[in-house]
Amino acid sequence: MAVRALYSGVSGLRNFQTQIDVIGNNIANSQTPGFKSSRVTFMSMLYQTMSAASAPTAEYGGTNPKQIGLGSMIGSIDQNFETGNLLSTGRKYDVAIQGGGFFVVSSGSQNFYTRCGAFNFDSNGNMVYDGGYKVQGLNATDGVLGSVVEDIQVPLGISLPAAATTSVSLVGNLNSSSQQVGTQLQSETFYSAEQAGNDTAVEGMLATGSANSIISGLVNGSSTVIVSTLNDTNTYTYSSTAVTNPAASLTFNSLDDLAAAIVANNSDISAATINSDGALRFTSATAGNTLTITSSVSSLQAALASANKTAGTFDAGATAITDEFSHRATASDALVNLRNSSGVDLGILNGDSISIGGSVGGTAITPNTLAVDGTTTLNDFTTAIQLAYGITTAGSVALNDGRLQINADGGTNYALSNIDITTAGTRPQFDSIFGNSAGNYATLQNASDNHSRSFTAYDSDGTAHTVTIKFNVREATGNQSRYVMDISSLITATGQPDVMVTPSSGSIVCNPDGSLASFDPPSITIQPSGVGNPMVIALNPGTFGTHLGLVMFEGDSTAGFRDSNGYASGDLQDVTIASDGSLYGNFTNGQVQILARLQLASFDNPEGLESVQNSMFRQTDNSGTANFDSAGVGQRGILVIRTLESSNVDLATEFVSLITAQRGFQTNSRVIKTADEVLRELVNLV
């Protein structure tokens, strides 16, 4: 009778009860991070065949089978592995997977898999999941990841050892139009005795004697000198330019011109010459001769008039001498002819020795010695000075309108001080101009650097050193711009200079288009003051022939350093997780080093995983073997930090399913009740 209906109803009750259990579990875990909802599918049970199907015949049509079902059964309970919403937690060790894959945790003997990335660190530095399960990944040694998937452990309190600096890059512009800024010193004006053949203009000469002044005020074509003797009187006119034939034109520009014109045009004068002291010396050719020299220029009048002679004092063969004349010293003048600004002889003699000393960049030089003979000129003197101070720019030591001017190479490392050019006291007049005494040299310009930059280098002990390079322009080589470098190093904390930097100087040359042509040195070695090993630091200026790195263009100098490696030791300060699952240690020395990397597992059939407690899954024969790799590789998603994946339970769907399951349960109960009533009626028939 109705027995089959009873059993069908019972199977329905069981199945809908199972569905309600699954829905209840889903709803209970609607706030569980990483939880994956499940669903129940039903299947029909065996059918009892009342009559089989028959095929059509010529006489009759075919018939369908007649079957009565025996109820339902659970077809499957499937998990939904769709990604849940990502919720920001602000907690730095919370990690969510956006995409496929599972975190791997271990009980020590077995691996489990989860989508919940709520991690912590225990007192031993192990990265752990809820329940003490250890998170799996790759550990790093000295910043290098290993290849074995194991428990992630970050020993708390670890220190990062110091690393010596081995390289630094130089980039930026060095102004191609910069000018050297070196020490510029200038002495007082000094003179040299006028010599025959000097042909120095009378205008600007110093006359020592009756005039005792600078000859000035001569006017071209107007200023005159009148020379009268016993029988002749001639007027000679000043020319501001060189005179080709003074004897014929009665014009003069120099004392040589005046002497030539006088002796050629006055029969009473047998000779007119400039003696070794710079005075005009006249020799009388006539007995009872006289000599009267006047000038329209008062200073010249006084200097020449000292040679005037009256009758009886200028007989034949007698001489008359004017004041001594000196001109502002020039490079070709002999040292033995030098005079000071008052016309007093400096006293330098053949056989004297001049010592050239002082300091360059604050360091005393080894004095250079110049031996003097009768032919040693001021040009020899300036060359010796330039050599003594190591000045490389041509013509930087010269005479400027009778003054010695020293222009040192640009840069503070080449600054001149304590200039001391003396004869060791044997010639005090010379020493009073060139020796190391206050007021001897006027400072026209102090040295400074065109450009200077520093970077911090670390030795093997972790001590910080400030390495400074000063950049100073130098004379161009052809069409190429050139700078020199001066390199120094000191301990940053104390300011104590390091023992040695080799080489301590170098050069940079750039092509006409500003690209790098040459750079030297390629590296420097610093012997530190302290226990650290010597630092060998490669200097990388960029690519030669390109504009990648150091360049030289018109414009502000911006050259500087970047990518300097090396660091001091430091203690672990914090651990952060990156989107690829890498755990980075932030150390107190500012360095960041990789400590470990999370590994994600992927499965050929993730629906085949078996759920266990703590929102974890276990591998089964139908899930396939776990494959480990980093986030973002293959089918594995990327990681989102400070975030957890929420449950993917849809409460609205679950409530609808709950209602339908409830109704299904109720209707199956009605089937049982109806079958029971039918049986009761059957019994009542007896």
Distance (Å, rounded) from C-alpha 152 to C-alpha 596?
Answer: 7
| Spans of the chain, pLDDT less than 50 | 1
Distance (Å, rounded) from C-alpha 136 to C-alpha 362?
Answer: 63
Distance (Å, rounded) from C-alpha 440 to C-alpha 433?
Answer: 6
pLDDT, tens digit, for every residue of 313-336? 999 999 999 999 999 999 999 999
pLDDT, tens digit, for every residue of 558-596? 999 999 999 999 999 999 999 999 999 999 988 999 999
**Cβ 447 vs Cβ 408: under 8 Å:** yes
Sequential DSSP letters for 558-587: --EEE----B--EEEEEEEE-TTSEEEEEE
- Sign of the C-alpha dihedral computed for residues 339, 345, 346 and 350 taken in this order: positive
Distance (Å, rounded) from C-alpha 560 to C-alpha 556?
Answer: 12
Distance (Å, rounded) from C-alpha 474 to C-alpha 647?
Answer: 72
Burial of 495 from C-beta contacts in 10 A (0-12 / 13-18 / 19+): exposed
pLDDT of residue 2: 54
Amino acid at 453: R
Three-state SS for 246? helix
- Sign of the C-alpha dihedral computed for residues 577, 582, 585 and 591 taken in this order: negative
- Per the rule left: phi > 0, alpha: psi between -120 and 50, beta: everything else, 157 is left
pLDDT of residue 366: 95
Distance (Å, rounded) from C-alpha 282 to C-alpha 269?
Answer: 7
Distance (Å, rounded) from C-alpha 511 to C-alpha 494?
Answer: 41
Paired tokens of 120: 């912590």
Distance (Å, rounded) from C-alpha 536 to C-alpha 293?
Answer: 79
Distance (Å, rounded) from C-alpha 411 to C-alpha 299?
Answer: 46
pLDDT of residue 175: 96
- 330-349 burial, b for 16+ CB within 10 Å, e for fewer? eeebbbbbbbbbebebbbbe
Distance (Å, rounded) from C-alpha 422 to C-alpha 381?
Answer: 12
pLDDT, tens digit, for every residue of 506-555? 999 999 999 999 999 999 999 999 888 999 999 999 999 999 999 999 99
Bridge partners (DSSP) of residue 583 are 577, 596
